[in-house]
A and B are shown apart, each in its own frame.
Chain A
């Protein structure tokens, strides 16, 4: 369970551009929930996940994982339980390194990065297996630098890499926004499959209302740092994209 309690966040404090985004903001995310967060630009979606991951400091409040206060934990420490995929495919991969090297790098998360061989030969077959499932021909490109792959291939790899080792939370930061519709669909299906397989608690920020409605089991809409819609039974209540758009 992930919990945000009494979060306050003011940007540009002490300047004429001072603006308060979060004022007593609270959010509880239960285990195995798949939350889709929508909202217009500046509504605080991305700030929210940055606060969860620790890449954005808060002025006051508390962030906790399973009851453990992690407010003072650094960003890199929090990622031991979090996998994150960004909007830009190149952020989730290392473009100068090969597919195989990237997979090995991600596979070692949580373990020591010591002076033993970076590529474990006995793992190559299992990497190939996972890449084959993507159906993007990546299993035949193990020695190709990731920078030479297409955006969709890279994002698929970023998703695989983020979820390769045991984690509890998956944070998706508009991870289909930079992709064409067809590839975006492939990535969303892959996301759903991985989330189910690994039983991940997921928070997905998206501008795509159809994805927000189709995937996930809880829908949150934000506006100016506040939650203006929080629906867990939206599938039962059959909310439509048109209804969402009307309050957008």
Chain B
């Protein structure tokens, strides 16, 4: 039972990450490696704001409140996306390289923001454990607290995204990933639309970094490694498994994809000879297996590589 709760908790939190990557990879058609930096960026910002709460500035900016901290994480991530977007669009650098540049720079920035490579926050209020949550949740539901809160945030993000993708701005974003020339002939600067997509995607990724960090109770500088692969795996599983389910929105598929992926990871790590340190290797192999078995996706990967 506990293992299922763990899978659902992790699956729901990482689903937010997958939604962000869905925006850049699927909608924008942009293999964005910025996420390996913007995911821990959200966590680093959270670590900084929590451990520095109490001073005058934090009282004014409300940055001692874990919910407001999530907003700051969103903003930090959007700036990371903006930087990658500007590098790609304004300086004409290839998509992959633009993301790698930002990601590499963010490593140092994240260290500076967080203060050190490992920052525990066990003694601080988080979105999961604070006096308000303590009073809302009855004893019997405490076990499911993280799942419930993570699900609310994930569904909220999904609904906002769904609504956005139906607006005029959302239409243009979908168009630019599919057919950049069309956007130009609509007398719109396709570069700016791309930048907007990267801003939205990385803001969501950074939010998920903040939420994961609050759940696990500490920031560590290496938490970003493999974020792209992990999120992408969820996106690809979700969109392929539920390809035939036309009634289901892609964003919903991506959330289920994230849960399936976490279950698969959990099963793989359960095999007796795997150690905790094998995590990234298992991640990479699982991702490869998913790519090979998701027919039709093959061509695309080839074309992008």
Contact = CB atoms under 8 A, between A and B. Distances in A.
5 contacts: A83-B185, A86-B181, A97-B178, A113-B168, A117-B168
A115 B167 contact: yes
B167 A114 contact: yes
Interface in A29-82: 74-77, 79-80, 82
A183 B186 CA distance: 25
Interface residues of B, number: 23
A2 B171 CA distance: 32
Given A96-B174, A114-B168, A118-B167, A109 B187 contact: yes
A90 B179 contact: yes
A96 B187 contact: no
Nearest to B172: A113
Given A97-B175, A115-B164, A76 B170 contact: no
Given A79-B185, A106-B186, A118-B166, A91 B179 contact: yes
Contacts of B179: 90-91, 93-95
B240 interface: no
Interface of B: 164, 166-172, 174-175, 177-179, 181-190
Given A114-B168, A116-B167, A80 B187 contact: yes
A193 B186 CA distance: 22
B251 to A, nearest CB: 15
Given A77-B187, A79-B186, A97-B175, A113 B169 contact: yes
A82 B75 CA distance: 38
A142 B187 CA distance: 24
Contacts of A15: none
Interface of A: 74-77, 79-80, 82-84, 86, 90-97, 101, 104-106, 108-110, 112-119, 162
A219 B276 CA distance: 74
B182 A76 contact: no
Contacts of B169: 113-115
Given A105-B172, A115-B167, A116-B167, A110 B187 contact: yes
Contacts of B168: 108, 112-118
Contacts of B186: 79, 105-106, 108-109
Contacts of A86: 181
A113 B172 CA distance: 7
Contacts of B184: 75-76, 79
Nearest to A158: B182
Nearest to B168: A113
A84 B169 CA distance: 22
Given A105-B175, A113-B168, A115-B168, 6 more contacts: A76-B184, A82-B185, A91-B181, A96-B177, A97-B171, A106-B186
A108 B185 CA distance: 12
Contacts of B166: 117-119
B193 to A, nearest CB: 8
A105 B171 contact: yes
A78 B289 CA distance: 47
Given A95-B178, A97-B178, A118 B171 contact: yes
Contact of B187 (A79, A91, A92): A79
A112 B169 CA distance: 8
A162 B185 contact: yes
A98 to B, nearest CB: 11
Nearest to A112: B168
Contacts of A105: 171-172, 175, 182, 186
Interface centre among A104, A105, A108, A162 (most CB of B within 10 A): A105
